[in-house]
Chains A and B, each alone.
Chain A
Amino acid sequence: MNIADLVNEKNTGLPPKNAPVDGKLRLEQVNLYYGSFRAVKDLSLDIDTCSITAIIGPSGCGKSSMLRLFNRMNDLIASARVEGLVEFDGVDIYQAGVDVVELRKRVGMVFQKPNPFPMSIYDNVAFGPRRHGIRNKRALDEIVEKSLVQAALWDEVKDKLDQSGLSISGGQQQRLCIARVLAVEPEVILMDEPCSALDPIATLKIEDLMRTLTSTYTIVIVTHNMQQAARVSDMTAFLMVDDDRSGTLVEYGATSEIFTNPKNQKTEDYITGRFG
């Protein structure tokens, strides 16, 4: 069952779902300011549909700021200001008339620390669809099961859906958060250090899940863990702080190239652990 069939179509200022365009996300000469401080500078890159892109770089280089450009999460910071073009399916998402709630439904986000709501596992997953107007119990059951299956969590929680989302392990909680994102059928999933609070086994499970999800979803992940970027992503973007303390894109390319034969000496120095 498709959520779009269940909710009323409305003018969101966004393109139709899965519009056939080259590149799912696009940045063109994007600058992001927090007050007078320029956090990221002149970012330009294209992200393909159904791919995993990793954003790596030293602490404070603007990785998370860059990620939050894609679903206007920086809007929540009063002093934030964006210049340049940020496109989702070929549409400028910062133009007037864009429905930000709809945008964030289609460009979902998973955070560093698992943040299930203090409610049952079922209600956690059903939360989004309910907010978007789905009340039918059977429809909700279907969405909850499908989302938990996709998040590779169903078998572990199917007998305790009414238990608190906070009662399961950290790795399970993070997969629950992914299921919660999947329940509203996004097209893009942004992940901000999704494994940094997890143990190695839980981390590998999430990575495995990401590879599975990439057949349907476009994933952008910020990670401190270079091995994780190398393991999981198709493309890697390396950001670094410039002389004026703004984050700039040093190199963007196929992960296999970046980790074996980077073009830029700064990338080489960073990924071989010589600075950062």
Chain B
Amino acid sequence: MRKNYERSLKALQDEVLVMGSMVEKAILRSMEALKNRDLELARQIIAEDNAINQKRFDIEEQCVELIATQQPMAGDLRIIIAILNMVVDLERIGDHAEGVAKIAIMIGDEPPIKPLIDLPRMAERASQMLREALDAFIRRDVPLAKKICDDDEEVDNLYNQVFRELLLIMAENPRTIGRATRLIWVAHNLERSADRITNICERVVFIATGHMEDIGASKY
């Protein structure tokens, strides 16, 4: 029954996965651009963010159309409402990646103040959380969604570590303040991204259980 509707609902979820992988790629590539000082790549990421924004609008339109024409109920309604929220978070994570790319351009060819170790780790962790969140979404996996929210603490700890380390460098050598501050912005972008991934996980729990709960209380 309702074959076309079922197909549309499935296609909508596939689109979320496509958008999710675009965003995941943006997180990793923006870190690559920063690490390798690849300004060309950075500019590319900034340009590609438009495609992520457009994807969000496309998905929202599909949601509105399904609601208006099919009057989805119960679990189907929860999926669509969750997606409407999830795409906002995904789009914002894309903006954070774009932010990192912009910082990479700002830093340009200024001499490095330290080798980048924890920041790439944060990006790696955030992109892994996002991948798992999309898995949890497709499988309606509540335990996995909750585990990802717990993992956010690791990103918070890395953020804290990067922050303290950079403070120390600035205190020791005030000439690094400009460069160090930019790296703090990068860390902040990544920390916010991980937080938004926990929002996505909360929506996964909502789809599966019908309950809205705050499961990822970030320290920051």
Contacts and interface: CB of A to CB of B under 8 A. Distances in A.
Interface of A: 226-227, 230, 258-262, 267-268, 271-275
B74 A273 contact: no
Given A226-B73, A272-B73, A272-B75, A260 B1 contact: no
B88 interface: no
Nearest to B210: A261
Contacts, number: 35
Contacts of A272: 72-76
* 5 A-B pairs with least C-beta separation: A261-B210, A271-B73, A273-B2, A272-B76, A268-B74
Interface string B62-106: 000000000111111110000000000000000000000000000
Given A273-B1, A274-B2, A259 B210 contact: no
A259 B2 contact: no
Nearest to B70: A273
Nearest to A227: B71
Interface of B: 1-2, 5, 71-78, 209-211
Given A260-B210, A261-B210, A268 B1 contact: no
B86 to A, nearest CB: 18
Nearest to A268: B74
Contacts of B73: 226, 230, 259-260, 271-273
A273 B77 contact: no
Contact of B78 (A227, A261, A275): A261
Contacts of A275: 1
A260 B2 contact: no
B74 A271 contact: yes
19 contacts: A258-B74, A260-B73, A260-B74, A260-B77, A260-B210, A261-B74, A261-B78, A261-B209, A261-B211, A268-B74, A268-B75, A271-B73, A271-B74, A272-B75, A272-B76, A273-B1, A273-B5, A273-B73, A274-B1
A230 B73 CA distance: 10
Contacts of B211: 261
B153 to A, nearest CB: 30
A269 to B, nearest CB: 9
B81 to A, nearest CB: 9
A21 to B, nearest CB: 33
Nearest to B73: A271
A258 B210 CA distance: 11
A261 B209 CA distance: 8
Contacts of B74: 258-262, 267-268, 271-272
Contact of A260 (B5, B71, B78): B78
Given A267-B74, A273-B2, 18 more contacts: A226-B73, A230-B73, A258-B74, A259-B74, A259-B77, A260-B74, A260-B77, A260-B78, A261-B210, A268-B75, A272-B72, A272-B73, A272-B75, A273-B1, A273-B5, A274-B1, A274-B2, A275-B1
